[in-house]
Every structure is written in structure tokens, then in C-alpha cells.
Amino acid sequence: MKQLTFLTYSLGCRTNRAEINQIAQELTKYGFTPSDKEPDVVLINTCVVTAKAERETRKTIRHFRRVYPQAFLVVLGCGVDAREKLKINLPQADLFVKNLKKQNTAKLIAQRFRFAETQKATLQDKYFLSGRALLKIQEGCDQFCAYCIVPLVRGKPKSLLPEGIISQIKDLEKQKIKEVILVGINLALYGKDLKSKTNLKSLLENQHLTLFKFHLEI
């Protein structure tokens, strides 16, 4: 069976980058290999937080469609939600994936090519190679500021449980990661949706995490 390749591109925030990194990791479990030379699959994680970002999203989709016309083009994220909820125009793609469905992206692509999960993730991006890793711990926002569409395209706040974060960080430690970059749409809202009372300060003061070096990014 031919070994299929993929290329990823992320616009906007570090959260988008963390998401696309995770999807890339999952694709390697199905036997896909990253490559920028005639990739079989191109994934674009979009941003529409400003008018400029929306224009850049459309430009980027057109660019990759033109450069890799035979590739299976996957458009993800905020642009897709804005396309459905706010009726913005996006160039055509082979697959559109909303934010709430992003976690299924690798599986959807694998099903399209009739691939089954076969191995452990092997991808190491520039963050891993530098001893750092992005870790998404929070999603969504409920502030509804007059100038911002993020709550519309990202939905309500949703936080990763502390034990889940601790588990992932311990796994990263085993992979020789020395710095973890915690990312989210609105980190100030971390823990607001959880049943157990917690917040970002409490998370960082957790006894299992105090020995780690952290960097926060929105």
C-alpha cells in the first residue's frame, strides 16, 4: 500500500497551532507521513477573528488548492464555523471540519483513504525538537465582547480536567520535554466549567506540576 503524505498549515493563535500539531500526531498513527512535496492531504486550520484574518484564510485556501490541485484539501476551525453561522464565503475544499469536530479529523481522513490505526505517533515538530511542547488546556469563551466573534465560532468555555493535564505533561516529560506552553482561547476562564472548583492559579500550584517550567499563551 502506498504511504500517503500530509501537510499542515495554521493561521491565527497558538491554540490553532496546538490543535493542528495534535491532528498531525494522530495522522501518523494511521501511517501518514508529513511532507511538503506533493502531499496527498493538505490541512488548513483557519482564523477569522478579524477582517484581515478572514481575508488571509480565503487567500491561504486558494493558494494551497492552486499549488497542490490533486491533494485532498481539509479546512478546519473558526472559518468553517463562521461559514455556517455567519455565512461568510470560503473557497471550496474537499472536507470542512468545525471546531467541535476537530478531534475527529484524523479519523475522518483515515476513513476517506480506508486506513486503520496501526502504530504509535512518531511526529516531532519544531517545538519537540527544541525541548518545548504546546498543550491545549482550554476551549471557548462566554464574554461576548462587542468587537469579537470568538464565542460564536469557539462556543462555550470547556476546560481539560487537571488530572488529564498532569497525565499529558508526565508523558511529555518522558519525551524529554523541558518546557510546556499552555494554550487556550481564554485561559482566564480555565476551570469555570468544571464541577470541581479550580482555576489557572490552582492548576499551576498543583504539587505534581510545580517542578515544571510553563509558558502561557492565548
The class (CATH top level) of 5-112 is alpha beta
CATH 3.30.750.210 for the 126-217 domain, yes or no: yes
Same fold, 5-112 and 126-217: no
* Cell numbers placing 143: 464574554
Q: CB–CB of 203/163 below 8 Å?
A: no
Q: What is the pLDDT, as a whole number, of residue 59? A: 98
* Cell numbers placing 205: 500550584
Q: What is the pLDDT, as a whole number, of residue 218? A: 46
Q: How far apart are the C-alpha atoms of 182 and 132, rounded to whole Å?
A: 11
Where in the chain are the domains?
5-112, 126-217
**Ranges of residues in the chain whose predicted pLDDT is under 50:** 218
Q: What is the pLDDT, as a whole number, of residue 174? A: 86
Q: How far apart are the C-alpha atoms of 126 and 171, rounded to whole Å?
A: 18
Q: CB–CB of 162/206 below 8 Å?
A: yes
Q: What is the pTM of this model?
A: 0.88
Give the other-Cβ count within 10 Å of 154's Cβ: 22
Region of 158 (left: φ > 0; alpha: ψ -120 to 50; beta: rest) is beta
- Give 72's strand partners: 41
